[in-house]
Amino acid sequence: VEAKKAAAELAITEIQDGMIVGLGTGSTAYWAIQGLGARVQNGLRIQAVATSEASEKLAKELGIPLIPFADISEIDVTIDGADEVDPDWHLIKGGGGALLREKIVAFSSKKLIIVVDESKVVAQLGAFPLPVEVVKFGYELTIRKLRALGCEPKVRVADNQPFVTDNGNCIIDCQFASIPSPAELHQAINGIPGVVENGLFIGMARKVIVGYKDGSVGSL
């Protein structure tokens, strides 16, 4: 907890009056939203968009003003977590199932700040199974095409049912032996009809803040 909180607290120091802020999802982004809530209560004036229903609910509880996507063209800063970060700042995201909304928000953000604890930093992506969001229609076929890319695909289950995303889709967790060429794999996966989006975030992060067990922080 300390490591995640420390990283999140450093990240929110970048947020200033008047900004439109993207709120990430997960247990690290949670601390960023908490910290922003406290600053808003102390007079910080921001407007926010959320990357999941869970984060939207938390923001509302904390009194962070939310703005409809229709009213914005760009987001100033988004603060989000990740499941893996490599030395090129490529990411695997979607462990929490929010990868599609996270990628939509990240793509329209001037700056994406990633907050992680040290356990997420890897030399090469792929030990964490890559989450892929797929539509339910014909997903047995979609899964075969994913397997043909060289992974062991598994339908994500929650409470003995296939997990359903905020967008009404399924998540297939794809275990590759390793992911030596993340950009190519990203293209190949998104080229399969039935795939909505995958959890590889290539060249999107502009800053990575790493929190350590002793509460110290550093940049990657």
Stretch that binds ligand A5P, among 23-31, 62-70, 147-155, 176-184 (CB under 6 A): 23-31
Residues 27-66 that bind ligand A5P (CB under 6 A): 27-28
Quote the CA–CA distance of 66 and 202 in Å, as a whole number: 27
* Binds ligand A5P by CB under 6 A, chosen from 44, 99, 130, 209: 99
Contact 109, 75 (CB under 8 A): yes
Compute the radius of gyration of the chain from its Cα atoms.
Answer: 17
| Choice between 82 and 209, CB closer to ligand A5P | 82
DSSP 119: G
| Choice between 4 and 185, CB closer to ligand A5P | 4
Angle between helical axes of 29-41 and 2-11 (0-180°, round to 10): 50
Q: Nearest distance from residue 80's CB to ligand A5P, in Å?
A: 5
* Binds ligand A5P by CB under 6 A, chosen from 96, 126, 182, 211: 96
Give yes or no for residue 26 binding ligand A5P (CB under 6 A): yes
Give yes or no for residue 86 binding ligand A5P (CB under 6 A): no
Which residues are known catalytic residues?
A: 102
Quote the CA–CA distance of 90 and 199 in Å, as a whole number: 10
Cα angle 87, 90, 92; round to 5: 120
| Choice between 141 and 158, CB closer to ligand A5P | 158
